[in-house]
Chains A and B, each alone.
Chain A
Amino acid sequence: MPRIGVFVCQCGNNIESTVDTQKVADETKKLPGVVHTESYKFMCSSPGQESFKKAIKENKLDGIVVSACSPHMHEKTFRRAAEAAGLNPFQCEIANIREQCSWVHHDPTKKVGTAKTMDLTRMTIQRLKKNRDLTKITIPVTKRALVIGGGIAGIQAALDIADGGHEVVIVEKEPSIGGNMARLSETFPTMDCSQCILTPKMVEAELHDKISLYTYSEVEKVDGYIGNFSVTIKKKAKFVDESTCTGCGECWEKCPFKADSEFELGLSKRKVIYTPFPQAVPNIPVIDKTRCPKILKDKCGLCAKVCGPQSIDFTQEDQLVTEEFGAIVVATGYDLMPKSKFGEYGYGKITDVISGMQFERLASASGPTGGAIKRPSDGTEPKNIVFIQCAGSRDEKRGVSYCSKICCMYTAKHTMLYRHKVHDGQAYVFYMDIRSGGKRYEEFVRGAIEHDGAMYLRGRVSRVYEKDGKIIVQGADTLSGSQVEIEADMVVLATALVSRDSATTVAQTLGIGYDKDKFYNEYHPKLKPVETVTAGVFLAGTCVGPMDIPESVSQGSAVASKTLALFSSDKMAREPITADVNTQTCNACWDCLNACPYVAIDKTEVKDRKGNVVKMLATVNAGLCQGCGVCVCACRSKAIDLNGYTDEQVYAAIATF
């Protein structure tokens, strides 16, 4: 006969207001196998847990039911307490009588709530009687981290993990690390130059003996599970031997062919053999194979002729490498909404309507104009410049529903940079709200308005068109209730920050979720902001959603701490809620294998003494299994059971209902 204890929590008034917990305790005690029951105001409090442990010992209990809040809240707490009192933690079960009972019933006579609590508790008791002792699974950990994306978030994560003493590989699809931050001129609210604060970190990553940079590379395939990932990386052909190239620049000096620079967003040209920007890390060029005449039609080859160390190799091919990792950090960053979206703002039709990121390049000392604000059309200095915020953001109909978060701040910064460079110029800003939450951010925006004279107009722009060589901006100022028309020389759109085009492909490769805007889902938006539902895969930076540099850096460091915690021991323990195959009844139909979303089912051969294969079986890789139960439903011969949620347990619970 089992010796079961039932603990009914009042949760202050959360449960007690609609459930008579004392009555539940009294009635439950009459059930067979139940030897101890009690009702208490807060079971999760320290005194509550103490009396819980005391009751286990005094009554020699071998099974516990806690009727309280959702197991998401305190299952861990009570299992740990049960373990401390000498019980197998998996002999402690929670009946959810708060979220699934007291909170949804409003009967002040407590009749409905009490009756339902009785049912839920009785079902859990019957279920508990069929529980088996389970032990936690331990799996080995490969102490090597993969960081996907070499922007500021990825660099920070890599540096922190490497400083913790573990090897890190950064995979970056562009020829250089640095990401979007490398494009910025100055950064708000301190106005320090982006290059000045970013390049030391890039160089540190390059020189760190624990960090390897795989630039111009992409992740092709991810196998395995937490602590034991096997990742295939495609290293795209650079046509330059990285081991001998000195980065002298002779090749891109002499290359006679040009293309629009991706890094400069089309504001200037680059050569066909190129590094994206002067401070590139590594400082090794790549050949654009879609444009190089030597590769396309075997003509030219000048770069190879001038190269001192003979590093150019036109025969190089894409290379696939497979490496083992224990944790994966996803820091793939963001894109900006494409210009084709903004017809009414003349983007794409009027040359001097540019994006905020293009303005960053114009204002940057290393940019195409050397930091001078000049119109792309004729190179003259614009005297009237209009900034349009929320271009695509907060526009459910044509753009995205969310706020891109960083535009208010960078537009204020742009007006300042403009005023500092064009003293007699006037900046106008059309905004809907000024969102400047952050340390010293509001003061920064006020500075742009009061000190640097930016004219802020509260309203959206409805139309931008050309007339007599001027750009006419038509909008509103709702504060004065007037329609506003401005003759501008240049218009800058704060285009919405959007997820990468490749976001869904990367998510599918890694088995992580994404939202309607294709930003990756956190495990919990507040309490687990850098974890994903796939154990061992972490998130950092703008692939999660719009955020600024300080936030991205914080997230980079946060994932590093998660990774280092994972790497702190050679083996890690996991909950044993996994599927189990009955080897006697499995008939190897592989329905489970097709159903499993975590690729956790393996085909295993059963051999006789002579080594002949006599039978095939499905087996579960406990490291990969997330305990979702899909295979249990798929199995035709009912050979699979989920530990902790066996058919026997579930039927016992239903039978008593």
Chain B
Amino acid sequence: MKIKLNKNDIDSALIQQIERMSGETIKRCYQCGNCSGGCPVSYAMDIPPTQVMRYLQLGMVEELMEANSMWVCVGCLQCFSRCPQSVSVANTLEGLRQLVLRKGVDHDRIEDIPLPMLKSAPQQAIVCGFRKFVS
């Protein structure tokens, strides 16, 4: 991968919007890797939590939009509880999700979910699912 770095990308309006929505300061991450180390679903992510923060620092939002990381995160906040710099990757990923959901793409509607699944799935999973995928 080759990137051309410039000031506009690393401090873009999009990055500022993500910071605003998530309440996190992306620069604070110093890439220690604790979040990736503790994340229970990091193995299933295209881009693990530490790299997510690095991509954002470098202004590489597009790559993150194409990756599954934000959808795999279950919001357990392990990353936040262990982060020495008090950064929450979960919050940051929530910000990314909101960016996508507010565009109306990847939008789940409750009525589209088959009734048997709604009936059989654990309540927790449904609540989490709605929180994550419904705008």
Contacts and interface: CB of A to CB of B under 8 A. Distances in A.
Interface in A465-490: 477, 479-487
The main secondary structure of chain A at its interface with chain B is strand
A230 interface: no
B27 A486 contact: no
Contact of B27 (A426, A453, A481): A453
Contact of A482 (B3, B6, B27, B50): B3
B2 A485 contact: yes
A482 B2 CA distance: 5
Given A453-B27, A486-B4, A480 B10 contact: no
B43 interface: no
B11 interface: yes
A455 interface: yes
Contacts of A453: 11, 27
Given A455-B10, A480-B51, A446 B3 contact: no
Given A453-B11, A453-B27, A484 B60 contact: no
A450 interface: yes
A446 B30 contact: yes
B68 interface: no
Contacts of A455: 5, 10, 57
A384 interface: yes
Nearest to A383: B7
A487 B31 contact: no
The main secondary structure of chain B at its interface with chain A is mixed
Given A453-B11, A453-B27, A480-B54, A485 B3 contact: yes
A639 interface: no
A470 to B, nearest CB: 11
Interface in B1-19: 1-7, 10-11
B58 A480 contact: yes
B27 A449 contact: yes
Nearest to A427: B7
A450 B25 contact: yes
Interface of B: 1-7, 10-11, 25, 27-28, 30-31, 50-51, 54-55, 57-58, 60
23 contacts: A384-B6, A426-B7, A428-B5, A446-B30, A450-B25, A455-B5, A477-B3, A477-B54, A477-B58, A479-B51, A479-B54, A480-B51, A480-B58, A480-B60, A481-B1, A481-B51, A482-B2, A482-B3, A484-B3, A485-B3, A485-B5, A486-B6, A487-B6
Interface of A: 383-384, 426, 428, 446, 449-450, 453, 455, 457-458, 477, 479-487
